[in-house]
Amino acid sequence: MRKLYSLVLILVFLTFHSSVLAQTQGVLGKRFFSNWSVTASGGPNIFFGDLKVHRFFPANTNMNEWRYAGSFSLNRQLSHVFALRAQVLYGEIAGTKRNYKSGDPANLYFEGNIFEYNLNATINFTNLFFRYKPERKFFIYGTVGAGLSNWITKKKDLTTHATIGGSGSASNWTTEIVVPAGLGAYYSIADKVNLGLEWTLRGLNSDKLDATVGGFPYDMYSFLSLTLTYNFNKRNSGKLKSAQYSAPPGTLLPKPPVSEIPPAAKEKTEVEKPAIQPPPAVKPLKEPTPAVQKYLVNPPATKDTSSFRNTEVFAEGTTYRVQVFASHDPAHTSESIQKNLKLPMKVGKEFSEDWYRFTIGPFNSWKGAEILLKKLKARGLRGVFIAKYVNGVRVPSAH
């Protein structure tokens, strides 16, 4: 029991600390009911214990040891590295013993049914050791957990098939602790569907599965399964086509048309790229409504802003702006971003921390900026957020 408690504590630790250990770049739902998926799987269920012909491989003649099981699991993705699964498994189990080590005939076999339920954690090794990429499709992971295994098995004579023993009954299944651990891999065959292969070795805290005590102190069985997973999340907005119109740092748009590139930038541009084409999902936004307009700040036209690097976003006091885009490329202009993202309000351009940032505002309160933020998100713009300014200087905290 102490081993089970230790394993449960490890699973709890991984659950609460996954946000610290994991790589969280990309798109995961922010609500509790986001990031759920279901998995159905099936494959051979092979016994390892006292009644076994070969050490590793199942016998397929004179009482076939090949048996099959199926499983279903409900999965909760905690990050791009860690996930929790609640799993149930049901299937058959069998084993054969023709001769003892001394050479004397044993003529024994057992067969029965097994039902298991467990809680296990998965660790995505691909995302753990390599930076997460939304376009990646193939993943390798490990799994470990704990649960309860229940079975009804009967030991029989290999020649006469007469029952000579057993473990469990229809009204009283034998129940013991099981610890599954293994490896798996899957491939994203569609945006919300994964096809994979998983192998787990499931160790029991018992020597009774084959109704024979002795030799192996702990019986085990392995489950090799083909898995099919369906993800309930929204479609992955982290894909390259959508990411071109996101605002977080590092997300780049194609270069603006030749006519919009400043002369200095044109001289350095060897190959001109076509104009930005807005995505179909982005709908034009009408002129600012009074609910937005009343929060806008109009900075004094005579104010000397020469001491400020961000002259396009200057306003006295504490103000807020909605960031719609950021890039390392100096060729983008306020006008090109406003035109290509179909924004009804003037866009300001600023430079800080090696980033060219494009924002709308200023607003005299967080509420005013939030109204516009919701409207931009509703029309399909991703990654937009609110930034805080004091006397035209951007500060780390947004609220």
Number of residues that make up the chain = 399
pLDDT score of 232: 85
From the list 120, 158, 112, 162, the residue with the least C-alpha distance to 141 is: 120
Taking the C-alpha atoms of residue 296 and residue 292, their distance in angstroms, rounded to an integer, is 7
Which positions of the chain have pLDDT values less than 70?
1-33, 234-314, 397-399
User: C-alpha dihedral over 134, 135, 139, 144, to 10 degrees?
Assistant: 10
pLDDT of residue 298: 60
- Predicted TM-score (pTM) of the model is 0.55
pLDDT confidence of residue 21? 34
Q: Tell me the C-alpha distance between 14 and 20, whole Å.
A: 10
By the 8 A CB rule, do 102 and 64 touch? no
If you compute the radius of gyration of the chain from its CA atoms, what whole number of angstroms results?
31
Domains of the chain, start order: 2-231 (2.40.160.20), 247-395 (3.30.70.1070)
With CA atoms as reference, report the closest residue to 24 among 138, 128, 149, 171. Answer: 128
Task: Count CB atoms within 10 A of the CB of residue 188.
Answer: 18
Phi–psi pair at 272, nearest 5 degrees: -80, 140
Cα separation, 18 vs 35, whole angstroms: 14
Cβ(211)–Cβ(194) under 8 Å?
no
